[in-house]
Amino acid sequence: MTGPRVRFAPSPTGYFHVGSARASLFNWLFARQTGGTFILRIEDTDTERNRDEWHQGIISAMTWLGLDFDEGPFLQSDFLADHISAADALLRAGYLYPCSCTREEIDERIKGNAKPGYDGYCRDRAVPRSATTALRFRVPDEGTTVVPDVIRGDVTFPHDSYEDFIVVKSNGVVLYPLANAVDDRTMRITHVIRGEDLLPTTPKQVMMWEALNRCAGVASVPLPLYAHLPLLVNEQRKKLSKRKDPVAVETYRDQGYLPDAFVNYLALLGWSPRGGEEIVPRSALIEQFRLADVSHSPAFFDVKKMTHINGEYIRRLSPEEFVEQSAPWVAPWSTSWRPTDRTVPWSEAQFDASLYGRVAPLVQERVATLGEIPAMVDFFFLDAPVTDEASFAKAIGSDPLAQALLGATVERFGELDWTAAALHEAVIELGEALGLALRKAQAPIRCAVTGTLVGPPLFESLELLGRERTLTRLRDALARSAS
C-alpha cells in the first residue's frame, strides 16, 4: 500500500496568488507528513494562459517557498487525448448527449422558468454529434450527490440545483470539470486539497467520476476525499481581490519576507497548531499539521500579522545568515536573484561589505522585512546622508540650542576615545550642560549624521561610521542651520 497522492493544480495567471501558495503548502504538508506523493500539474488548457514564462513563475514561486514536488511538472494539455476518450466513453454509455441549442435559443426558451439554467431540450432528441454540437452531462432529475470532504464532512448537493452542464464545447474544447477529474483519475489522486471557491463545481466532478466508473472499458478508480480550504478574506472580511489586495507572492518575496516565515504564516490561514503557537517552524508544521483540523470559516489574510512573524524569523537568523539573506537588497550585483523594480541607494563602489557585516546586527533587531534595510543604513555608504527635511526642521532648523549642542559636540567628538560607550557618555554630559535630556540631545546629532530621526542605535552607528565622517556631517549640519 503506497501513501496518499495529492496534487497542486494551478491555472497559470502570470503571478502566484497567496491562495494558490496556501493550497500548494497544505498539499505539500499533507504529503510530507504522510509519506505521500506531491504532484504538480499545471492546468494550461486555456490557451490564453499557456505561456511558458507563467509556468516558470509557478515553479520558481514554489521553489522559493521550498515546496518541492515528487512528480511533474505535468501540463494538462498533454493529457488531451485522455480527456477526449473519457468524454467518448461517457457519451457511449449515455451519460453525455449532444446538444445543438444556441445560447440565444436557450435564453429565449428558459425565460420565466422556475429552475434556472438549461432546460434539457436536447436530452431525448437524439441529436447526432456534429461540429456544431456540444456535449452535456445528463444530471439525474432526482436525488443528490455527496461530496466527501475532510474539512466539512459530507456536503450534499441536490441534483435539481444543477442543469445538464456542458462538458465539451461545440468547438471541441473539453471543459475544466472533466479535464481536472480525468487527470485526477489518471494520477490516482487520493485527496483533492484546494480552495473553497471550487466546491460548487465538485459535485459535477463527482457525478462524472462515478459515471466513468460505470462505463465499460474504463478502469474503476476510487473517488478521492476532498478538502476544500476556507476562503481567504481581507480586513473587511471580503474575498481577497486581486485588484485591491496585495495577493501576489512575488510582491512579498520582493519586499523581503523570508520563505520560512511566509510558509509559517500561510499555514495559519485556516489551520492552527493545537497549542495555539504562532511561530511554527517548517519541521513542526510537517509533524503537527492535520487536514482534519483545518477550519471551514474564512481566514483573514493579515499582512500585519505576517510582517510581525517575519520580523521574528529575521531575529532568529544567525548574524551570518542575516547578512547573506539580505544581500539581494543591499548588494544586488553580487546575487543571482534580486528583487524586481528596486534600486539600492548606493553604488557598488560606495558599498563596503565588511562595514555592512558590522552594521547588520544593529538593524537585524529592527527590521520586519529585508526590504527595509537600505533606507535604514544608507548613511553608512553614501558620501552625505539623505536629509529628511521635516526631520531637519524639527530637530535642528535654526534653533540656537541645537546649534549650541552641535557646536559643543564637534569640539568634544574631536578629542574623545572613539567608542560607542565614550560617545554615549559625552552626549549625556553635553546635553546636561544645556539642560537637555539624552533623547533631546541625541536628536540633532542623529539628524545631522543619518539624515533622519529614526534608525539603528546612534552611538554604535557613530562608532562604525568613524570620527572623520561624523565630524564632517556635524559641521555641515551646523553650517546649514546657521545659514
Show contacts with ligand GLU in window 253-292 (CB under 6 A).
none
9 is a site residue for ligand GLU (CB under 6 A) = yes
| Beta carbon nearer to ligand GLU, 181 or 376 | 181
| Beta carbon nearer to ligand GLU, 266 or 477 | 266
Question: Total residues contacting ligand GLU (rule CB under 6 A)?
Answer: 7
Residue 9 C-beta: closest distance to ligand GLU, Å: 4
Binding span for ligand GLU by CB under 6 A among 6-14, 107-115, 359-367, 434-442: 6-14
| Beta carbon nearer to ligand GLU, 43 or 460 | 43
Q: Is omega for the bond preceding 73 within 30 degrees of 0, making it cis?
A: yes
Which listed residue (21, 43, 62, 249) binds ligand GLU by CB under 6 A? Answer: 43
Site string for ligand GLU, 167-206 (x = CB under 6 A): -------------x-------------x---x--------
Residue 262 C-beta: closest distance to ligand GLU, Å: 20
| Beta carbon nearer to ligand GLU, 221 or 331 | 221
| Beta carbon nearer to ligand GLU, 224 or 339 | 224
What is the rounded CA–CA span in Å between residue 176 and residue 44? 10
What is the rounded CA–CA span in Å between residue 29 and residue 223? 21
Residue 21 C-beta: closest distance to ligand GLU, Å: 12
What number of other Cβ atoms are within 10 A of residue 466's Cβ?
Answer: 12
What is the rounded CA–CA span in Å between residue 160 and residue 263? 41
Q: Which stretches does DSSP call E strand in 279-349? A: 299-300
Which listed residue (4, 5, 10, 313) binds ligand GLU by CB under 6 A? Answer: 10
409 is a site residue for ligand GLU (CB under 6 A) = no
Residue 11 C-beta: closest distance to ligand GLU, Å: 4
What is the rounded CA–CA span in Å between residue 223 and residue 76? 20
Residue 355 C-beta: closest distance to ligand GLU, Å: 47
| Beta carbon nearer to ligand GLU, 194 or 424 | 194
- Whether 394 is catalytic is no
Binding span for ligand GLU by CB under 6 A among 4-12, 30-38, 356-364, 461-469: 4-12
Binding span for ligand GLU by CB under 6 A among 8-16, 139-147, 218-226, 344-352: 8-16
The continuous run of DSSP H or E covering 85 comes out as: helix 80-92
What is the rounded CA–CA span in Å between residue 88 and residue 107? 28
Q: Considering just the CA atoms, what is the radius of gyration of the chain in Å?
A: 31
Q: Which stretches does DSSP call E strand in 101-172? A: 134-137, 144-149, 153-158, 166-168
User: Out of 169, 242, 244, 305, which one is annotated catalytic?
Assistant: 242
Per-residue exposure over 11-28, b if at least 16 CB sit within 10 Å of its own CB, e if not: bbeebbbbbbbbbbbbbb
Residues 6 or more apart whose CB falls under 8 angstroms from that of 273 comprise 280, 284, 288
Q: How would you class 107 by CB atoms within 10 Å of its CB: exposed for 0-12, middle for 13-18, buried for 19 or more?
A: exposed
311 is a site residue for ligand GLU (CB under 6 A) = no
What is the rounded CA–CA span in Å between residue 228 and residue 192? 8
Nearest Cα residue to 201 out of 181, 222, 182: 181
Which residues does the annotation mark as catalytic?
A: 242
Which residues bind to ligand GLU, rule: CB under 6 A?
9-11, 43, 180, 194, 198
